[in-house]
Structure 1
Amino acid sequence: MCRGLESLPITCLERAKELKALFASLLQKSDHSITGAGQTKKCDKLRLNIDEPLKWKESFDKLLSCQNGLCMFRAFLVSEFSEENIAFYLACEDYRATKPSKLATKAKKIYDEFIGSDAPREVNLDHVTKAIIKKNTENSTQSCFDLAQSKIYTLMEKDCYPRFLKSPTYLELSRKTRAS
């Protein structure tokens, strides 16, 4: 899974390249070893559905809900030097599932990594939103990052996602999917 890069033996970028190659090889073969609902047993680690790339275009939510789509999108953002957006979004998703006893520690970590003025992976948020989030993290609740996460989601949906759909990698995958 692409979400926790630190727990992966390979990086998301490497996985994206692997996915691209697997999709390409699946689409080139006339007899796909497909089982079930369009699934292949080509690789133990990856479950591929050859129609996935076309579904990613239906909506940003569908892209993010698909493990392979999320990984390809994250690799795209790395190539555009804006990977911090998806990393922040996913950190917020993880934060929401955190036990109440660990919220304060995790909130500080997220704030320091993505929102603070010296944050190493600072996301693009206006100063008003940053101030609200800073105040929210003082009394950490599972919803304290909701406003910032929503703004970053909208930024990705309106800006990054359309560029992803026009990227050479996505266009090549979708073209090959339609041709097969």
Structure 2
Amino acid sequence: MPVKCCFHRSRAGEAMACSESVDKLLANKDGLAAFRTFLKSEFSEENVEFWLACEDFKRTRSSTKMAAKAQKIYSEFIQADAPKEINIDFHTKNDISQNISEPTLSCFDDAQRLIYSLMAKDSFPRFLRSEEYKDLVKKQKSRNQRRWLPFL
């Protein structure tokens, strides 16, 4: 999934822009931080960590680095009893396990799509009702007021 940036909006609009989609939330530094805090409170931060690791992996150009990063993602998120094991179906996990010895830039795409969908349909709507989101909106509004009221 491509990430669409919401930085072209004013600061006041950033928090509201992040409420429009998970893409915009993940592209916004403050939004991502608030979302991570929320996911930690729900004991599901491995989802966003896996998604971010996959995004970083897809930017890798060196085959040596690609193999090392793929193995790290696999051992951290995919393999049975991984420290941050993500909840994906057996078929997807099995496909990754069979191909991890010769990884490609798309080897985690199916798992990443599943986790993105889980975050978008499950975690994101709850996040928009959370204290973390309300704090994010307040923070953005406060920044906007300070920008236009320099004497405060």
TM-score range, shorter chain: 0.7 to 0.9
- Report deviation, 1:105: 1.5
- Does residue 1:145 correspond to 2:108, yes or no? yes
Question: Partner of 2:133 in structure 1?
Answer: 170
Question: Partner of 1:126 in structure 2?
Answer: 89
Change over 3 Å in CA distance of 1:66–1:173 after alignment to 2: closer
In structure 2, distance between residues paired with 1:175 and 1:68? 12
Runs of 4 or more consecutive aligned structure 1 residues displaced over 2 Å after TM superposition: 171-177
- Report deviation, 1:68: 1.1
1:22-171, aligned counterparts within 5 Å?
38=10, 49-98=11-60, 99-171=62-134
In structure 1, distance between residues paired with 2:97 and 2:104? 12
Residues 19 and 25 of structure 2 are in contact (CA less than 8 Å); yes or no, is this contact kept in structure 1? Answer: yes
Letter in 2 for 1:88: F
Change over 3 Å in CA distance of 1:165–1:103 after alignment to 2: same
TM-score by length of 2: 0.80
* Partner secondary structure for residue 84 of structure 2: coil
In structure 2, distance between residues paired with 1:172 and 1:104? 40
Which deviates further from its counterpart, 145-154 or 53-62?
Answer: 53-62
Letter in 1 for 2:43: F
Letter in 1 for 2:54: C
In structure 1, distance between residues paired with 2:133 and 2:56? 27
Change over 3 Å in CA distance of 1:68–1:172 after alignment to 2: closer
In structure 1, distance between residues paired with 2:136 and 2:93? 38
* Partner secondary structure for residue 144 of structure 1: coil
In structure 2, distance between residues paired with 1:175 and 1:145? 36
Which deviates further from its counterpart, 164-173 or 146-155?
Answer: 164-173
* Structure 1 spans left out of the alignment, 5+ residues: 1-36, 39-48
Change over 3 Å in CA distance of 1:83–1:173 after alignment to 2: closer
Aligned length: 132
In structure 1, distance between residues paired with 2:75 and 2:16? 37
* Partner secondary structure for residue 51 of structure 1: helix
Letter in 1 for 2:127: F
Residues 57 and 66 of structure 2 are in contact (CA less than 8 Å); yes or no, is this contact kept in structure 1? Answer: yes
Give per-residue Cα distances to partners, 1:4-37, cap 9 Å, x unaligned: xxxxxxxxxxxxxxxxxxxxxxxxxxxxxxxxx7
Give per-residue Cα distances to partners, 1:81-104, cap 9 Å, x unaligned: 100000000000111111222211
In structure 2, distance between residues paired with 1:158 and 1:72? 18
